[in-house]
Every structure is written in structure tokens, then in C-alpha cells.
């Protein structure tokens, strides 16, 4: 306790339960009072989680899909628009990033968006300026459709999709010299993991996958070409096939199903889920539980997630994950009540959101290597990250950028009553922004930041409201409780 | 002015325990320099007598087309479409020649300030980008501790002063910098400021407010914030240097150009930067690698050469204390694949530029190439032998301490101290 800074309680603003806040921060794109209300009307936080796993209204997804024309165009149409100088093709990849950020901020299916993001990073295809940009939005939308289904289905989808084929060079692989790029990353990154396969496995993995071609930089037609498929006996790990048929699709399917169900894949997915949603160093017991659940349910995802959130380890894990740059940005929009509108030009908030994210260190799906962005605190606590996060928080709290097609709360709206002591205002803001009560440290920090006393009376004309609100809100946004989840 | 004086408890904690927290992970690219990452480790107080710039060509560059073994017949049979024609090679000797896109570096080569060491790499092949990068940068095969060779270099005298460490351009330092000495990071020189403060000094209301919250926060996040606030204080001399490159140096408008321009500015600011690492790439060209006149390899090579040439001209006389070494996690196959690219191989070439380099020639022992689908350039010189020679030539450091347990061979490419 800091002498002279005894925290006050503003009980008119409700406090969430630990589970409500935890589920909101891990699976709800960031707890907000509005999400808390949605959980309450669903019958509680845990019931809300189940309803989120089931299907439900998806209005924002459908609405926002119309915000960027490239999202629903075919690769050939994206290419034609590029040549007609309507939109450079790489902007199609950027549009997908923008759309995903907008959905995370506003969707009524935040858990679905969370799991879509999880799979899009495991089965990573960058959304940048290469051939894969032509297929990137379709790839992401297809992942989303399967994000709460089974991993076996996801793996069949991702491995044979033209976006992945373009990124890791399956699209141009031939039987005369099968390209090993995707064949290797499929084993190392998507399924069994490094150290669990040999170079001979990679060679046969490449042979099995030959045939899924794309006419890159031409028509962009994606089709299976039996003439490109390598035939002959193959063995990868304990998968064997005589692979005699010219059409190798059934071999590829059997191979991918085998990999999806492999115990090493189960272990790897289980660990990755635990690191994403529990802590950087999950216990072997938890990983084992999730791995067994995955195998017992034939790679189905929902039972694994239920086991995860019902584990004691999850319930104890509040605040143990550092927010990624994109999570920080999304949570900041949400908690400040900043609303995106349909973009009209390159200054619109929904358009510049990816540049805000990039300034923090990494925009969605821009990790430059197949292994997907890192997910542990050590990677996201660099001095660069910290300084840029503080910059973004202040800029958003001030409403200084972006300013177009964005709804922002007026400063006075953060004052819940016309007249309020500062220590009570701090508690109201702590409850509204952090979902936790004020502390002596928080109160002292807030007093220092805007240079008032705990008992100072704040009204809508006080300097704290008139020009100090960005600094005051930053006290909460720069707080450990906002930088973690 | 520093907001936490040497000797205060927090200061000691950052210096001794700051390690994995600030340095772990290996994130590339995406902030200001796009696909190029720049990071800096600071020496003890004040000026650095020698600066080492480690330029990592991420994704595994094709050393056989950068430094072409034109006298090896297998090179020509293995690469019918992508080989570099012999009459286009630069600085050719009886065995090797440089890719023509390296032309901007020819003056350095002719001045004896640039050399190449061929057939280098890890002793045994590791074709995974991710684990090879880690193995290369840890460079200590006998130890499970995640301490990178550059961290062992900057921490060689065992002092407990917090070596300021900064990483410009990308969010996370690489494995090579990992270790008990703290490493900082920033997107660009002018971004090393604390938002919403005028002076950043200890009496600034926002600085006081942040200290109140963060001084007691344990773990990597707390240490990251405290180190960031110190770095803002200590980086002033670099922010005060001109943004415009010196001596009319013209960097390409590429990520690498921007990163090296920031590196030059940091070196000129002379706040004690001893090790700077830059990650450049992707050089991972499984398909459409291109020919001598067009394509990805040609473009990346041209960017590499013109960025480095601009860097040395920007540094001017300061270049006398700066050595650059290039490194890839592994090399590429001898034979081109059906997609006109090259799959993952083993041996590679390393370039040495600047201070201490006995340049203008090719080093190493050529193993001869084999033209089969799986054939690699064999490794005849452990890459650590090359790095060790740089370390002992330029720093008062023991190669055995920086590369423990490695049998080091003489390359002869660096002038002894």
C-alpha cells in the first residue's frame, strides 16, 4: 500500500468473475463490459463458451465481407484487376489481414475468430505479395469454415489448397524432380515435428503430394494433374502405399489422414493449444490430457478445447500470456469502444489497422517463415514492442490516428457521473478497461500521470476530462493487465 | 540521464537475469524494415573499439551461384538453366568467380577489403531452417543452455554492467544474441522514445507513473519495460546524429538498405555498439530462382551488394573499425530442381568485409561437386572456424570461450591482432 493512495470502490460498475475475464481474454478477443453482458445473458461464462463452440449468428462476418471487393474474387479476377491497374494483386493479401482484424474486433463469434487465427498460424501461409496472395482470402475463409471441426479435415484442406501450393511450391512440383518444400514443412511444421522424420521421409512425402498444380502467373487455374504425379511405392514414417495409380489423390488423402492421426501430431497440436491458451510452459500432464482427448475424438477440436478450459491449469492461468501485437491492437479497439465502419479509402480505420499492427512488430499472417509467429512472452517483450505499444495506446486513447470511418467515445463519456472523486473514477476505469478493481499502485500511478490528488473532484470541465483523458486512459492500457491476457 | 542508476536493485536484475526474457525467440522482420531485422548489442560504457556486423542471409542462400566454382565440371551439368555463364563472372581466379550482381562490391574486393570462404557450414547437415538457425547461432554443441555465440562474445569479460543491447528494425533478437546480457530492440533510431513524454527524464509525470506500475512487475514483460525506459535515456547520442547518410552514400530503398543505414547511424553515434546483427531474406528459393540477368537470386544479390557498398561508403573513415560477416543457416543443393529452383543443401559460402580482412581472394578447401539429385556441397571448413578468426582478429576475446568445444582450424582470411 502506498501511503495516501487507498483505492476506492465504485460499485455501480460491476466486476467480472475470474472465469468470465479469463475466457473473455483467451477466447473472446479481449474481455469488455459488453462481452461480460453477453456472457451473462448466455447463462454464464462457461455456458457462453459452449454456445460459441456451436453455430450461431454470424452477421458481422457477412457484412464485413462486402467491405473489400478482393475478398470474394477468384484468382483470375484478382489478376485481371492487377493488370487493369484497379488494385495491385498483393493488396488482396492485405485486405484479408484487414478483414480478419475487423472480425476480431466486432464479430459475435469471437471464439470462432480465435480458432481461425490459431489454425491459420499453424498452417501458415503469409498474406503478402507473392503468388499465394491470389488465394489467401479463400484459404482463410476455408480454414474458418473448418476451424471448429477436425484437424484431419483441416490438414486435407490446407495441404491441397492452391494458397499453400503456391507458398511452398507444390503448385509447380513435377514427378521428374518433386519439390521438397511443402513435403518437409508438412512433417516438420504442420504435423509430427522436427526430429521425428528422416530425409528419405521427405523425399517420399514430396512424391506423394505431386499432382496438385496451379497455373501460376498464367490463368491461375488450380487442378489435379495425374501427369505430374510420381508413381511407385512410398513410405513415410509408418505410412506405406504402393501408389500405382496415376491419380494420386487417394494416396495423398490416406497419407494426410495418417499424419493427422499420428500420436506425434496429437502431441504437437496439444502442446501448441496449451501454449496458445494456457501458458508458455504448460505441464506435460495437461499436454498429455489434450493429446489423449484429441486422439479419443478422432482429431475433433471442440472436445479438446472443452478439456482445456475445464482443466485446473487453465483456471489458474489468468494473466500468464503476453498479448501478441495483433491481440493488443484488437483488445485496445474493443476496450476503448472504437468502432470500425466500412472503409472508403486508404485513410479509413479498417484500412490502416494493419499498419497500426505492423508498427507494433507484426501484422496478422505476416510472419515471414513457414513455422508461424512465435507465441511465448520472450518474443513479445522486446523494448521495441514495449515502446510501440505505449505509442499505439496513447494514439488510440487520444483518437489521433486513425480518424476516418471510426467511431470513438468522447472523453466525457468515461466519467460515469457528472461529478466524481478521482479515486472513484480510477476504480470505474479499472473495472471498465481491465475488468479488475483499482489498487493502491494503480491509483498512485494515475495520480502521477495526470497530476491530481485521489480526492480531487472531477467534472466534465476539469482539465483531466478536457485534455488529460488520453494520458489517463493510457495508464490502464499500458498496465500489465492490458498487455497480458 | 538514466532513470535508474547503476547499483539500484532493478539495474542488477536486468543485467543478470534479463537474458532469455529480452533475447529469446527469433522473430524476423516486419517492422520498419520489412523482411530485414537489425539488432545491436552494446559494449560497455562509451565507444566501441571494434564493431562486428553479422549479416544473416535467412532462408539459406545459394552459395554456388554467389561464388561460382567455374572450374568444377559438375557445376555446369547440374545447373543447365540457372548456372552463371563463365564470361560473366567477376574477380575470377582459376577456380572461382563472383556473381555479376555483386559488382558494387568490386572496389572493396580489389582494395583487399572483401574475401570469400567457400564450402563452410555446420559439420553435419541440418536441413530444417528453424533448427539449423538455432544450431548455427547457438554455436555451442556441448551445452543445452540457450546462449548464443554473440552473447558469449559481448559478455566475455564477465562484468555485471548491463550491456545495453538494442535491436533496430524487428521485434525480436535472434538466437545468436541470446544469453545473460540484455538485448534491446527498436523499430528505428527515431522510434526510441517514450510516447507522451517531453524529456523522458525521471521527473516527467508519465515516466514516474510508469515506474510506479512497472518497477515491481516480475518476468519478461516487466524487464522489457524497464529496459525500454533505460534505453530511451541512453540512446540520445544516436538520435542526435543526422538522418542523411554521409559521404553521398546511396542506399537502395530496400529493407536491407534501411537496416544498414540505421546500423551506420548507430555506429557513428558511438554509444558503445559492439555487435550488430542484421537478418536479411528470404533467400529460400525452391522455385524460379532465375538466371544471371533476372529473377529472385539476381535481385537479392544486387540488393545485398548495393546495400553493403553504401554502408561502407556511408561509414567513411569509421569503417576502419567495422567488420561484416555473412552467414546462412545452410546452403542449397548442387542440382537445380524441376521448378528451376534449389532445395535445401549443406555447404555454403561466407563473405568477410571490412576491418582486418585479408581480401581480394577466395579461401577454403574445395571438396569437388557431384551431380546427383540429392548431392550437396560438402563442408570442408566449420563456419565457426571462420567466425573464431574474426573474433580473435578484432576483439580481445578467446575463440575457445566464444566457441567452446569446437576444433578450430586456421582459415587465414583475417589479419592477426
pLDDT tens for B324-347 read: 999 998 999 999 998 899 998 999
What is the distance between the alpha carbons of residues A374 and A376, in angstroms, rounded to a whole number? 6
* Residue A110: predicted pLDDT: 98
Contacts of A388 in chain B (CB under 8 A): 31, 187, 191
- Select from A362, A380, A384 the Cβ nearest to the Cβ of B167: A384
Q: Which residue has the higher pLDDT, A277 or B150?
A: A277
What is the distance between the alpha carbons of residues B353 and B108, in angstroms, rounded to a whole number? 8
Q: Give me the torsion for CA of A439, A443, A445, A448, rounded to 10°.
A: -170
Q: Which residue has the higher pLDDT, A448 or B19?
A: A448
Least confident window among A42-56, A375-389, B388-402: A375-389
Q: What is the average pLDDT across A367-381?
A: 85
Contacts of A482 in chain B (CB under 8 A): none
Contacts of B286 in chain A (CB under 8 A): 168-169, 179-181
* Residue B175: predicted pLDDT: 64
- Cell numbers that stand for B39 in this block: 539488432
Predicted confidence (pLDDT) at residue B405 exceeds the cutoff of 90: no
Q: Which residue has the higher pLDDT, B81 or B20?
A: B81
pLDDT digits (tens, 9 = 90+) for B138-172: 777 666 665 677 777 776 655 433 334 556 655 55
Contacts of A325 in chain B (CB under 8 A): 171
Average pLDDT value for chain B: 81
* Residue B32: predicted pLDDT: 29
What is the distance between the alpha carbons of residues B69 and B347, in angstroms, rounded to a whole number? 13
* Residue B146: predicted pLDDT: 58
Residues B27, A448: C-beta atoms closer than 8 Å: no
* Residue A380: predicted pLDDT: 87
**A179-196 burial code (b ≥16 CB/10 A, e <16):** bbbbbbbbbbbbbbbeeb
* Residues in Cβ contact with A250 at an 8 Å cutoff, skipping those fewer than 6 apart: none
Q: What is the chain A residue with the closest CA to B59? A: A369
> In which band, very low, low, confident or very high, does the pLDDT at A409 lie, cut at 50, 70 and 90?
very high
> In which band, very low, low, confident or very high, does the pLDDT at B185 lie, cut at 50, 70 and 90?
low
- Select from B31, B212, B214 the Cβ nearest to the Cβ of A448: B212
Predicted confidence (pLDDT) at residue B211 exceeds the cutoff of 50: yes
Residues B224, A385: C-beta atoms closer than 8 Å: yes
Q: How far is B325 from chain A (nearest CA, A)?
A: 23
Contact B387, B56 (CB under 8 A): no
Pairs of CB atoms within 8 A across A/B: 210
Give the closest residue to A186 by CA, choosing from A167, B330, A176, A172.
Answer: A167
Q: How many CA atoms lie within 13 A of A110 on its CB side?
A: 24
Judged by a CB distance cut-off of 8 A, whether residue A98 touches chain B is no
Predicted confidence (pLDDT) at residue A124 exceeds the cutoff of 50: yes
> In which band, very low, low, confident or very high, does the pLDDT at B281 lie, cut at 50, 70 and 90?
confident
- Select from A370, A379, A483 the Cβ nearest to the Cβ of B24: A379
Q: What is the average pLDDT across B33-55?
A: 66
Interface list for A 405-464 with B (CB within 8 A): 441-442, 444-446, 448-451
A136-146 and A90-106 helices, crossing angle to 10°: 30
Q: How far is B291 from chain A (nearest CA, A)?
A: 18
Least confident window among A124-138, A312-326, A329-343, B262-276: B262-276
Residues A384, B337: C-beta atoms closer than 8 Å: no
Residues A369, B194: C-beta atoms closer than 8 Å: no
Least confident window among A113-127, A383-397, B87-101: A383-397
What is the distance between the alpha carbons of residues A386 and A388, in angstroms, rounded to a whole number? 6
Give the closest residue to A287 by CA, choosing from A268, A271, A304.
Answer: A271
Bridge partners (DSSP) listed for residue A236? A239
Q: How far is A288 from chain B (nearest CA, A)?
A: 24
Q: What angle do CA A426, A429, A435 make, to 5 degrees?
A: 120
pLDDT digits (tens, 9 = 90+) for B87-125: 999 999 999 999 999 999 999 999 999 999 999 999 887
Q: Name the percent of chain A lying above pLDDT 70.
A: 100
Predicted confidence (pLDDT) at residue A78 exceeds the cutoff of 70: yes
> In which band, very low, low, confident or very high, does the pLDDT at B44 lie, cut at 50, 70 and 90?
very low
pLDDT digits (tens, 9 = 90+) for A162-217: 999 999 999 999 999 899 999 999 999 999 999 999 999 999 999 999 999 999 98
Q: What was the ipTM of the complex prediction?
A: 0.95
Residues B24, A369: C-beta atoms closer than 8 Å: no
What is the distance between the alpha carbons of residues A154 and A76, in angstroms, rounded to a whole number? 25
- Cell numbers that stand for B83 in this block: 548456372
Least confident window among A304-308, B244-248, B282-286: B282-286
Contact B21, B228 (CB under 8 A): no
**What is the DSSP code (8-state) at residue A7?**
P
* Residue B7: predicted pLDDT: 29
* Residue B3: predicted pLDDT: 34
Q: How far is A474 from chain B (nearest CA, A)?
A: 9
Predicted confidence (pLDDT) at residue B26 exceeds the cutoff of 80: no
* Residue B241: predicted pLDDT: 87
Residues A176, B35: C-beta atoms closer than 8 Å: no
Judged by a CB distance cut-off of 8 A, whether residue A173 touches chain B is yes
Contact A361, A328 (CB under 8 A): no
Q: How far is CA A80 from CA A77, A139, A345, in A?
A: 5, 20, 21
Contacts of A195 in chain B (CB under 8 A): 131
> In which band, very low, low, confident or very high, does the pLDDT at B130 lie, cut at 50, 70 and 90?
confident
Place of cell 567466425: B387
Average pLDDT value for chain A: 96
- Select from B129, B184, B205 the Cβ nearest to the Cβ of A383: B184
Predicted confidence (pLDDT) at residue A30 exceeds the cutoff of 60: yes
Q: How far is B366 from chain A (nearest CA, A)?
A: 25
What is the distance between the alpha carbons of residues B157 and A450, in angstroms, rounded to a whole number? 44
Amino acid at each position: 500500500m502506498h501511503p495516501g493512495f487507498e483505492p476506492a470502490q465504485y460499485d455501480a460498475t460491476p466486476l467480472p468473475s475470474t472465469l468470465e475475464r479469463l475466457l473473455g481474454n483467451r477466447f473472446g478477443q479481449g474481455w469488455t463490459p459488453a462481452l461480460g453482458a453477453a456472457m451473462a445473458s448466455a447463462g454464464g461464462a462457461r455456458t457462453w463458451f459452449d454456445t460459441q463452440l456451436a453455430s450461431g449468428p454470424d452477421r458481422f462476418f457477412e457484412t464485413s465481407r462486402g467491405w473489400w471487393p478482393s475478398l470474394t474474387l477468384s484468382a483470375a479476377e484478382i489478376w485481371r484487376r492487377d493488370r487493369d491497374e484497379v488494385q495491385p494483386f498483393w493488396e488482396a493479401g492485405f485486405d484479408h489481414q484487414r478483414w480478419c482484424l475487423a472480425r476480431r474486433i466486432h464479430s459475435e463469434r469471437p471464439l470462432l475468430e480465435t480458432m481461425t487465427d490459431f489454425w491459420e498460424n499453424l498452417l501458415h501461409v503469409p498474406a503478402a505479395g507473392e503468388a499465394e496472395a491470389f488465394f489467401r482470402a479463400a484459404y482463410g475463409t476455408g480454414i474458418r469454415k473448418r476451424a471448429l471441426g477436425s484437424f484431419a479435415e483441416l490438414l486435407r484442406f490446407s495441404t491441397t489448397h492452391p494458397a499453400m501450393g503456391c507458398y511452398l511450391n507444390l503448385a509447380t512440383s513435377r514427378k521428374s524432380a518433386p519439390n521438397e518444400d511443402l513435403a518437409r514443412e508438412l512433417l516438420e511444421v504442420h504435423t509430427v515435428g522436427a526430429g521425428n522424420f528422416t530425409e528419405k521421409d521427405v523425399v517420399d512425402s514430396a512424391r506423394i503430394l505431386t499432382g496438385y498444380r496451379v497455373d501460376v502467373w498464367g490463368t491461375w487455374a488450380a487442378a489435379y494433374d495425374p501427369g505430374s504425379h510420381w508413381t511407385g511405392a512410398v513410405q513415410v514414417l509408418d505410412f506405406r502405399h504402393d501408389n500405382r495409380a496415376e491419380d494420386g489423390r487417394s494416396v495423398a488423402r490416406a497419407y494426410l489422414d495418417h499424419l493427422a492421426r499420428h500420436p506425434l501430431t496429437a502431441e504437437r497440436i496439444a502442446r501448441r493449444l496449451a501454449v496458445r491458451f494456457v501458458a508458455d510452459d504448460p505441464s506435460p500432464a495437461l499436454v498429455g490430457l489434450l493429446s489423449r482427448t484429441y486422439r479419443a475424438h478422432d482429431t475433433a477440436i471442440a472436445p479438446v478445447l472443452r478439456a482445456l478450459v475445464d482443466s485446473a491449469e487453465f483456471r489458474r492461468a489468468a494473466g500468464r500470456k503476453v498479448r501478441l501485437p495483433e491481440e493488443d491492437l484488437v483488445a485496445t479497439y474493443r476496450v476503448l469502444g472504437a468502432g470500425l465502419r466500412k472503409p472508403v479509402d486508404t485513410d479509413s480505420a479498417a484500412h490502416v489497422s494493419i499498419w497500426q499492427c505492423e508498427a507494433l512488430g507484426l501484422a496478422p499472417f505476416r510472419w515471414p517463415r513457414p513455422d508461424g509467429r512465435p507465441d511465448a512472452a520472450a518474443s513479445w517483450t522486446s523494448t521495441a514492442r514495449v515502446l510501440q505499444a505505449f505509442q499505439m495506446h496513447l494514439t488510440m486513447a487520444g483518437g489521433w490516428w486513425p480518424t476516418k470511418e471510426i467511431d470513438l467515445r468522447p472523453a466525457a463519456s468515461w466519467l460515469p457521473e457528472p461529478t466524481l472523486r478521482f479515486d472513484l473514477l480510477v476504480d470505474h476505469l479499472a473495472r471498465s478497461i481491465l475488468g479488475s478493481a483499482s489498487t493502491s499502485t494503480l491509483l498512485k500511478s494515475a495520480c502521477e500521470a495526470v497530476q491530481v490528488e485521489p480526492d480531487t473532484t472531477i467534472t466534465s470541465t476539469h482539465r483531466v476530462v478536457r485534455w488529460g483523458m488520453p494520458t489517463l486512459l493510457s495508464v490502464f492500457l499500458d498496465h500489465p493487465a492490458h498487455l497480458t491476457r | 540521464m538514466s532513470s535508474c542508476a547503476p547499483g539500484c536493485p532493478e539495474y542488477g536484475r536486468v543485467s543478470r537475469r534479463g537474458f532469455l526474457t529480452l533475447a529469446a525467440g527469433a522473430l524476423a522482420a516486419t517492422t520498419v524494415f520489412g523482411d530485414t531485422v537489425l539488432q545491436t548489442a552494446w559494449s560497455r560504457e562509451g565507444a566501441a573499439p571494434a564493431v562486428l556486423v553479422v549479416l544473416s542471409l535467412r532462408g539459406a542462400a545459394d552459395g554456388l551461384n554467389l561464388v561460382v566454382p567455374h572450374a568444377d565440371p559438375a557445376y555446369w551439368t547440374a545447373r543447365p538453366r540457372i548456372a552463371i555463364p563463365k564470361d560473366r563472372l567477376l574477380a575470377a581466379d582459376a577456380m572461382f568467380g563472383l556473381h555479376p550482381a555483386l559488382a558494387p562490391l568490386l572496389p572493396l574486393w580489389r582494395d583487399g577489403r572483401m574475401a570469400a570462404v567457400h564450402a563452410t557450414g555446420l559439420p553435419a547437415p541440418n536441413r530444417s531452417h528453424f533448427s539449423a538457425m538455432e544450431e548455427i547461432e547457438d554455436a555451442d554443441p556441448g551445452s543445452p543452455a540457450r546462449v548464443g555465440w554473440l552473447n558469449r562474445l559481448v559478455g566475455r569479460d564477465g562484468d555485471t554492467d548491463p550491456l545495453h543491447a538494442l535491436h533496430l528494425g524487428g521485434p525480436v533478437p535472434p538466437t545468436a544474441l541470446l544469453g545473460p546480457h540484455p538485448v534491446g530492440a527498436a523499430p528505428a533510431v527515431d522510434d526510441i522514445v517514450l510516447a507522451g513524454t517531453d524529456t523522458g527524464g525521471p521527473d516527467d509525470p508519465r515516466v514516474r507513473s510508469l515506474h510506479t506500475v512497472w518497477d515491481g512487475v516480475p518476468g519478461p514483460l516487466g524487464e522489457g519495460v524497464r529496459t525500454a525506459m533505460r534505453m530511451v535515456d541512453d540512446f540520445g547520442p544516436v538520435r542526435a546524429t543526422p538522418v542523411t547518410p554521409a559521404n553521398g552514400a546511396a542506399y537502395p530503398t530496400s529493407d536491407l538498405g534501411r537496416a544498414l543505414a540505421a546500423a551506420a547511424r548507430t555506429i557513428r553515434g558511438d554509444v558503445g555498439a559492439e555487435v550488430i546483427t542484421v537478418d536479411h531474406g528470404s533467400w529460400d528459393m525452391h522455385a524460379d530462382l532465375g538466371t544471371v540477368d533476372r529473377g529472385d537470386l539476381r535481385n537479392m544479390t544486387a540488393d545485398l551488394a548495393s546495400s553493403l557498398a553504401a554502408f561502407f561508403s556511408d561509414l567513411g573513415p569509421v569503417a576502419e573499425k567495422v567488420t561484416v560477416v555473412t552467414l546462412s543457416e545452410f546452403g542449397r543443393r548442387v542440382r537445380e530442381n524441376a521448378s528451376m529452383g534449389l532445395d535445401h543443401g549443406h555447404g555454403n559460402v561466407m563473405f568477410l568485409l571490412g576491418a582486418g580482412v585479408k581480401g581480394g581472394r577466395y579461401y577454403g578447401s574445395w571438396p569437388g561437386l557431384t551431380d546427383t539429385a540429392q548431392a550437396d556441397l560438402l563442408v570442408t571448413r566449420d563456419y565457426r572456424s571462420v567466425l573464431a578468426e574474426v573474433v580473435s582478429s578484432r576483439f580481445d576475446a578467446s575463440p575457445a570461450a566464444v566457441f567452446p568445444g569446437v576444433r578450430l582450424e586456421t582459415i587465414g582470411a583475417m589479419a592477426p591482432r
